[in-house]
Chain A
Amino acid sequence: METNEILDKLKEILKVVKPQVDATNVTVDTSLSKDLGIDSLSMMLLALAIEDKFNFRFDTVKPFTTIGEVSDYIKAKVNK
């Protein structure tokens, strides 16, 4: 799965988890906390939604800082 495809799916998830955020301008450099206002609650919801969408389970990991890091993690998990 390619980064762009993952990014599109992440945008769809963001629309549900954080509907007040404009997900159209999200790129790999977008900061989760500064740009999207993702806190620990939203991050947990995001993780659960990602697990559902991409069909894998998160291992216990340090919280991510950017969308790029999330997408890299998904890519590594999905393309394993």
Chain B
Amino acid sequence: MKEFPANILRGFILFLSWTLFRPKVYYKDKSIQKNKITQPILMVCNHTCHMDGPVIGSIFWKDKIHYLAAKDRFESKPLAWLMRQCRCIPIDRRDLDTSWIHGACNLLSTVKEPLCIFPEGRHGKNGEILPFHSGVTMLAFIARVPVLLVYIHHSYGFLFGKRAKVMVDIPRQITISPEGLSSDFVDHQTKELRNQMLELQQEFYRQTKIQS
């Protein structure tokens, strides 16, 4: 009962996002289209604008998605409150902070709810997919959960603008290193994950016949 007002607020935001951006979703494997996400999963999205989070939420509205967001966004009290209601977890990118990794791992392995991350950390210009930060790989390794890549096409606008177009990959398991978590290995896996996102982008262009 305590969560009730937050649920209403989240529902309203997601409904508003769905109405404004009218997301159209393409699936690499159409069999996952109608299924609710039943396993804890790390959803990895490219970042095109501030509205990406609500767009993703409106697509996967049946799933209790949590988001990782930069701690800077929590500096304003009203925004911080709103973001917490929308299940956002702050990441401190400046100082040495491991609490977000533990919090996120607990969410994935104990609470077993999906988590969404934008590993570029900021928006790329004109759909460019920027290098990924390695936190995403560390998280996937430590929580031992599959990764679901979601490509968001960059050109979408409010209400009468273009519809948001999104392509959903199939869940992938990240390779575990037998020697432990070395920086080179994490770095390599992070680059590999970005390459898979670039492949998904190409798949999106093939399916939609949109010119890149």
A interface residue numbers (CB < 8 A to B): 16-20, 39, 41-45, 47-49, 51, 57-58, 60-64
Contact = CB atoms under 8 A, between A and B. Distances in A.
B89 to A, nearest CB: 14
Interface of B: 92, 95-99, 101-102, 134-135, 138, 142, 179-184, 186-187
A48 B96 contact: no
A45 B183 contact: yes
A42 B95 contact: no
B103 to A, nearest CB: 11
- Considering the complex of A and B, which 8 residue pairs feature the smallest CB-CB distances, nearest first? A16-B180, A42-B183, A60-B97, A41-B134, A58-B98, A60-B95, A63-B96, A47-B98
Contacts of A45: 138, 181-183, 186
B142 A48 contact: yes
Contacts of B98: 44, 47-48, 51, 57-58
Contacts of B186: 41, 45
B188 to A, nearest CB: 11
Contacts of A42: 183
Nearest to B137: A41
Contacts of A19: 179, 182, 184
A16 B182 contact: yes
B96 A20 contact: no
Contact of B99 (A18, A49, A57, A63): A57
B97 A58 contact: yes
B201 to A, nearest CB: 25
- Report which residue of B96, B97, B99, B180 has the largest number of chain A beta carbons within 10 angstroms of its beta carbon: B96
A40 to B, nearest CB: 8
